[in-house]
Structure 1
């Protein structure tokens, strides 16, 4: 369990003050914002929440749903993630993706863009899966005397060679990368993000954007609050998205800007543009890219967005070849005494653990063999042990966070799930100390469900 880790990616600032405002707006006839100079500070807000809402379980707990927090969770076993996902309420593990008409930025050998290089992610997916469609010629008739339309089979190979614009996240300058995969992500709710310079991007609420504050999901970046039907109620946070920038001469410092036409020897630096509006568009087909190389991002409609990752099983092959530590890829419990849910006590010995490690290694070798024989990753991974380590992003609000802790911090929960909750609670305590303290004293490990 020593490898387990949880980090906070993004969180609503002053969460207890947000809950306090929601409590008062529920019962106040006047607009609470007008008296904001008289709002209690964050610490005092927490005390008032406990006194007037949580203590004695007064009122409804909808006010706790406004503050949002997103965690990056690492190296937990797959079985634990399956437990966490079960009976969850208001906890998101969704994939990120973009609408079909999103324009992807490609450049030529000199780093220049042109109309000929413009294409949408929907068109890319069509070419990736079917090849580039030929233009029908009236002089060549096909079936039923209609113009013949066929596909060029080199579509995928050609796309892989195209220069994709990506951002060097260390210095803020654009470089080039290559596409590794084009992914259809299904039909999902899509929102349109509009910037001050009139750029727009149609994406899911959890697609990650590169903002002036770093990587954030779209919903977290703007503090998006929606109604039950998905429509936008309001944006609660200011946000600026990093976009295509002005040309900067390569022989100048990055802070010395020169407005000039991009040419060879010229760098392009990203710059922030403010989000002015977000609107719900309904459910649409969505897509994403996987980018090869060091920088896993690309430019969509002029904005820097994060790419998706597709399972490849390379870490399994690395274990088989001795290139990666087996316990970095698979989780096995430490040697020691354990108790199951039926009360049976047992000892997991060093000899048993060594045998299990050997079994994991043999499974990796069999996986590598099947891949070399041509099986797909989805087929071959059925051979590997269930408890491969899993990394994932988890988003929730304050109320659903307590619900998750209620479910998985109880004494008979899976040990790894209990450890997961312990690490979650440490971040909960830093983020919202008064509410977290009340939770620990009144609900923690008691198998209650937050109302």
Structure 2
């Protein structure tokens, strides 16, 4: 998991003011843009949002959907990408495709790239299955799994050399190939993903994903993030 990374591409620069404007327009007689020079500061808007929208579980999350952030996420296993896009989270994703991009697999087969830069395996440790049974993922077993990944990469290379298309050859590779992707979220869908995937029984790698995206959320909408951390983070509540 030490290879996982998340980098900011772009974000709404004054998100709490924008959310405030949306909220203010809901009950304002006037055209709120005309009052723009009178809007509270970004920090003050955050306080108002927490007080009027979030406190007391009012559930009025629509205003949070007017701001966006785009993150580039790297070297996560396929299972993470698959998990975080489920349950109607309200995000957009563009994922590195196995239909067009397979050179890294061939490079691993040739020894030009570390096999663990292409495929993900969990670290050696004790783990628990869904029924609560604990087991050891031993160094010996992990070595066998790495060898199997390498053999799969070599077979993939053989198919490519025989003229197979990437989308055909990818059918034989291990499930958890590492993938890079770009994800776009609004403030509500950001909390939705954190609700679903930061809780203690979520997939381990998804929890790590949440830990890496959390600092971006905290820096972007600090008042909302502070409220969220106190009231929802890691508690597995129903997503907003």
Q: What does 1:200-349 correspond to in 2, within 5 Å? A: 311-349=100-138
More helix by share: 2
Secondary structure (helix, strand or coil) at the match of 1:30 reads coil
- 1:338 alignment partner, SS class: strand
Tell me which residue corresponds to 2:82: 82
State the TM-score, normalized to the length of structure 2: 0.95
Task: Quote the residue 1:291 is aligned against.
Answer: none
Indicate the structure (1 or 2) with the bigger Cα radius of gyration. Answer: 1
Q: Cα distance, 1:60 vs. partner?
A: 2.1
Three-state SS of the structure 1 residue aligned to 2:208 is helix
Alignment match, 1:93: 93
CA deviations 1:387-431 (Å, max 9, x no partner) are: 110100101111111111111111111000011011111100010
Residue 440 (structure 1) shift: 1.1
Instruction: Judge conservation of contact 1:88–1:404 (CA < 8 Å) in 2.
Output: no
Unaligned runs of 5+ residues in structure 2 are: none
Q: More displaced, 428-437 or 57-66?
A: 57-66
| Deviations 1:111-170, CA, capped at 9 Å, x for gaps | xxxxxxxxxxxxxxxxxxxxxxxxxxxxxxxxxxxxxxxxxxxxxxxxxxxxxxxxxxxx
- 1:390 lines up with 2:175 in the alignment: no
How many residues end up aligned between the 2 structures? 239
TM-score (normalizing by structure 1): 0.51
**Residues 72 and 393 in structure 1, CA contact (< 8 A), matched pair in contact too:** yes
Match of 2:34 in 1: 34
Select the structure that is richer in strand: 1
* CA displacement, residues 69-113 of structure 1 (integer Å, 9 cap, x when unaligned): 111010000011111121133201258xxxxxxxxxxxxxxxxxx
2:208 matched to which residue of 1?
419
Q: Is residue 43–residue 223 contact of structure 2 (8 Å, CA) maintained in 1?
A: yes
Give the one of 334, 357, 380 matched to 2:169.
380
Instruction: Report how far residue 346 of structure 1 moved.
Output: 1.1
**What is the root-mean-square deviation in Å for CA atoms of aligned residues?**
1.6
For the residue of structure 1 that corresponds to 2:228, the secondary structure is helix
Q: Which runs of 4+ in 1 moved over 3 A?
A: none
Larger RCO (CA under 8 A, 6+ residues apart): 2
Q: Is the 2:98–2:166 contact (alpha carbons within 8 Å) kept by the matching residues of 1?
A: no
